[in-house]
Amino acid sequence: MVPRSPERRLVVAAVVRDAGGRFLVARRAPGQHLEGLWEFPGGAVEAGETAEEALTRELREELGVAADVGDPITFSWHRDPSREILLLFYRARLASGVPRGLQGQEVRWVTPAELATLQTPPADAELVRILVEEGLKG
């Protein structure tokens, strides 16, 4: 039997900070892959979308907000037996709306110190380390 190749996904996530330097994070809902872990909001890029269009759509669908997507920050590649994920992180600013979990996820703003204590997906770990380090300096 030929082993099945892992699913490949391009995923985008927004790093949103408020005026007080807190980060917007969402907790993966029960029943989802990596349920209960905290992540930067975003999701998969669909066929025909640019990464920026996908992130704008995901923030509207998941959190009910309009956002201005800025520059890419970094990327992460993660592989497990069932999937390969290329994750692109972008700076984003909320243009309108108050973030709320429209798909059953918990949403909150956290300080850099709080971000350091959250359990996050492996693909987010390096960015979290960098953001926490920068946030605690500033």
How confident is the model at residue 3, as a pLDDT? 58
pLDDT tens for each residue of 65-100: 999 999 999 999 988 778 898 999 999 999 999 999
CATH label of the domain that carries residue 27: 3.90.79.10
pLDDT tens for each residue of 91-117: 999 999 999 999 989 999 999 999 999
Q: Give 2's contacts (C-beta < 8 A, 6+ positions apart).
A: none
**pLDDT(136) > 80:** no
How confident is the model at residue 32, as a pLDDT? 78
Kindly state the average pLDDT of the residues 21-31: 92
Kindly state the average pLDDT of the residues 57-71: 97
User: Does 107 map to a domain?
Assistant: yes
User: Does 2 map to a domain?
Assistant: no
Kindly state the average pLDDT of the residues 31-36: 81
User: Does 1 map to a domain?
Assistant: no
Domains of the chain: total: 1
**pLDDT(5) > 80:** no
> How far, in Å, CA of 48 to CA of 119, rounded?
33
**pLDDT(4) > 70:** no
In a 10 Å sphere around its CB, with 0-12 CB exposed, 13-18 middle and 19+ buried, how is residue 36 labelled?
Answer: exposed
Structural domain containing residue 84: 7-137
